[in-house]
């Protein structure tokens, strides 16, 4: 009799277990974005590294499932979409694990990977179950520049051209865009288009955009796809540019211009770009994201000066439109959103001394604050913090003129020398003239400071808080 009961009990246990596993297997799609060089590759590498090596000296005390001893293990599993590039985790890790560790190579376009995280749920649903659940996390890395294109959807070619020409003709962009603007000026808009000329000029425009981003430190780049084309490199759909002389154009002739004319083809490509590139990205990718982290490097623009910083602010406002789910917002009119948690992270916090981190987070908060209040964010939970995906400095105190001051120590990436510095203070709100007149913030690029094994954890700042915010509620 007792034997039968035991068998029955085992069957019941198995049933309960199956049921539990079915109900507790969860999926979350986590999107990671930010403008180029904001630190996406470093961030995803660190996130995956901390999770798959958990237990091996990891520092994740603010991640509840770890803190409470319920984390079992995480591993990489085949990704969801086979047509999307794989995130190069191994390549990035081998850069960090060389004898002379380096930062991973920059990547272009979109990539993906999937993690399976096994953990013990806090409250078991069924008494006899084995209490193990799996959370599948699909991580997508995509360029923040692509989000800069959303506002184009509500513009005509004429409106976009006027706005973009104004940007090209003002400081600091005007210093390098003069030649290009003159060439556009010399075009006869109603002439039959020479596609080669159009391709060459588009290339010139793209070069300008790359220069704005990487030499001048500007953030507003439109079309954003031009500098990170992904699989569309050299496609004619990326070959157009703003037309600069709308004021001199005969309105009716413009309306009637055929697609074979110069202006007609520019307009047709602009329209096709919006439909086939911008909208497609939102439909195929963006609308499927559950959670989003937006990375921002606030320190580089702070170091570059007021124009660069103002540009970052404008770019953040444009990026925020993709998360504005109010009824009358551009986004909601076009797409149905899904994102319920949005994290803004100021990256590379290890470039400043620890007591400045609070200011850094407050500064980023201010950058998104205005939009946050103008728009309706009822459905999204938001948070701002300062982090270092891969900490490349050590912090401490140093004596300066008899006073103890906070310092960071690291290996300069330009000359590979060890230095100890106080890089300066970070303003806790949008800097005003006064800040820029004082000695500029001293941003020094560092190399990762210690070589780590492929299965060791990378040193970081606040990656555990990121995990708690983005995944914690799914692992209760």
Ligand X SMILES: Nc1nc2c(ncn2[C@@H]2O[C@H](COP(=O)(O)OP(=O)(O)O)[C@@H](O)[C@H]2O)c(=O)[nH]1
Binding-site ranges for ligand X (CB under 6 A): 34, 36-42, 103-104, 106-107, 347-348, 350-351, 388-390, 392, 445-446
Task: Name which of 216 and 294 has its Cβ closer to ligand X.
Answer: 294
C-beta of 85 vs 306, nearer to Mg ion = 85
Using CB atoms within 10 A of its CB, is residue 317 exposed (0-12), middle (13-18) or buried (19+)? middle
Structure tokens at 37: 């060089």
Of all residues in this chain, which one has the CB nearest to ligand X in the complex?
A: 103
Residue 24's nearest CA partner among 139, 117, 121, 116 is 121
Of the candidate residues 41, 321, 347, 384, the single one contacting Mg ion (CB under 5 A):
41
Rank residues 212 and 240 by Cβ distance to ligand X and give the closer one.
212
Minimum CB separation from ligand X for residue 204, in Å?
A: 24
Among 45, 49, 64, 107, binds Mg ion (CB under 5 A): 107
Which of ligand X, Mg ion, none binds 242 (CB below 5-8 Å, type-dependent)? none
Query: Which residues, 6+ apart, have CB-to-CB distance to 248 below 8 Å?
Result: none
Q: How far is the CB of 122 from ligand X (least distance, A)?
A: 31
Which listed range, 10-18, 36-44, 338-346, 433-441, lies at the site for Mg ion (CB under 5 A)? 36-44
How far apart are CB 356 and ligand X at their closest, in Å? 14
Distances (CA, A) of 208 to 147, 174, 235: 19, 10, 18
Specify the residue, 47 or 66, whose C-beta has the smaller distance to ligand X.
Answer: 47
Taking the mean position of all CA atoms in its chain, how far away is CA 5?
57
140 binds Mg ion (CB under 5 A): no
- CB 43 to Mg ion: min, Å: 9
Residue 38 partner contact from ligand X, Mg ion, none using kind-dependent CB cut-offs of 5 to 8 Å: ligand X
Contact 218, 170 (CB under 8 A): no
Burial of 179 (0-12, 13-18, 19+ CB in 10 A): exposed
Work out whether 213 is an interface residue with Mg ion (CB under 5 A).
no
Cα dist. 286→31, 136, 141, 146, 292 in Å? 8, 18, 11, 10, 10
Q: Which two tokens stand for residue 255?
A: 């309306």
Residue 47 near which of ligand X, Mg ion, none (CB within 5-8 Å, type-dependent) = none
On whether the CB atoms of residues 77 and 116 are closer than 8 A, the answer is yes
Q: Which neighbouring-strand residues pair with 393?
A: 410
Let me know how long the chain is: 476
CB of 449 to ligand X, least distance (A): 9
Nearer residue to ligand X within complex by CB, 350 or 365: 350
Per CB under 5 A, 111 contacts Mg ion: no
Rounded Cα gap, residues 251 and 211, in angstroms: 33
Nearer to Mg ion, 107 or 304 (CB): 107
Q: Which residues bind Mg ion (CB under 5 A)?
A: 40-41, 107
């Amino acid at each position: 009799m007792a034997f039968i009961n035991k068998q029955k009990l085992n069957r019941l246990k198995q049933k309960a277990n199956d049921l539990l596993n079915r109900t507790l297997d969860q999926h979350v799609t986590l999107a990671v974005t930010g403008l180029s060089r904001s630190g996406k590759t470093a961030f995803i590498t660190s996130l995956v590294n901390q999770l798959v090596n958990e237990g091996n000296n990891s520092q994740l005390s603010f991640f509840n499932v770890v803190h409470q001893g319920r984390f079992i293990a995480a591993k990489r599993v085949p990704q969801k979409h086979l047509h999307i590039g794989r995130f190069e985790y191994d390549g990035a890790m081998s850069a960090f694990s060389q004898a002379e560790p380096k930062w991973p190579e920059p990547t272009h376009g979109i990539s993906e990977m999937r993690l399976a995280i096994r953990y013990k749920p806090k409250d078991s649903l069924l008494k006899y179950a084995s209490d193990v659940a799996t959370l599948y996390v699909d991580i997508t890395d995509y360029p923040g520049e692509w989000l800069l294109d959303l506002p184009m959807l509500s513009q005509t070619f004429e409106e976009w051209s006027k706005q973009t020409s104004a940007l090209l003709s003002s400081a600091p962009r005007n210093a390098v865009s003069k030649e290009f603007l003159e060439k556009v000026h010399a075009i006869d808009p109603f002439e039959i288009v020479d596609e080669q000329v159009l391709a060459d000029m588009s290339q010139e425009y793209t070069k300008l955009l790359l220069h704005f981003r990487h030499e001048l430190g500007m953030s507003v780049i439109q079309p954003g796809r031009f500098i990170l084309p992904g699989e569309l490199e050299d496609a004619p759909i990326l070959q157009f540019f703003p037309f600069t002389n709308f004021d001199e154009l005969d309105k009716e002739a413009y309306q009637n211009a055929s697609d074979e004319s110069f202006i007609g083809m520019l307009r047709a490509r602009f329209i096709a770009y919006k439909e086939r590139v911008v909208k497609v990205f939102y439909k195929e990718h963006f609308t499927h994201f559950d959670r989003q982290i937006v990375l921002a490097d606030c320190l580089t623009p702070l170091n570059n000066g007021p124009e660069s910083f103002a540009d970052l602010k404008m770019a953040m406002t444009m990026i925020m439109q993709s998360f504005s789910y109010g009824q009358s917002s551009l986004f909601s009119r076009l797409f149905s959103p899904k994102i319920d948690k949005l994290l803004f992270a100021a990256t590379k916090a290890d470039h400043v001394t620890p007591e400045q981190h609070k200011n850094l987070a407050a500064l980023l908060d201010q950058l998104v604050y205005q939009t946050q209040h103008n728009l309706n964010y009822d459905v999204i939970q938001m948070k701002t913090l300062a982090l270092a995906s891969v900490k490349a400095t050590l912090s401490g105190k140093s004596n300066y003129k008899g006073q103890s001051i906070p310092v960071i120590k690291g290996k300069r990436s330009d000359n590979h020398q060890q230095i100890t510095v106080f890089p300066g203070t970070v303003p806790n709100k949008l800097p005003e003239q006064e800040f820029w007149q004082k000695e500029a913030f001293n941003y020094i690029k560092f190399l990762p400071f210690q070589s780590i094994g492929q299965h060791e954890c990378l040193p970081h700042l606040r990656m555990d808080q990121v995990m708690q915010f983005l995944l914690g509620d799914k692992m209760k």
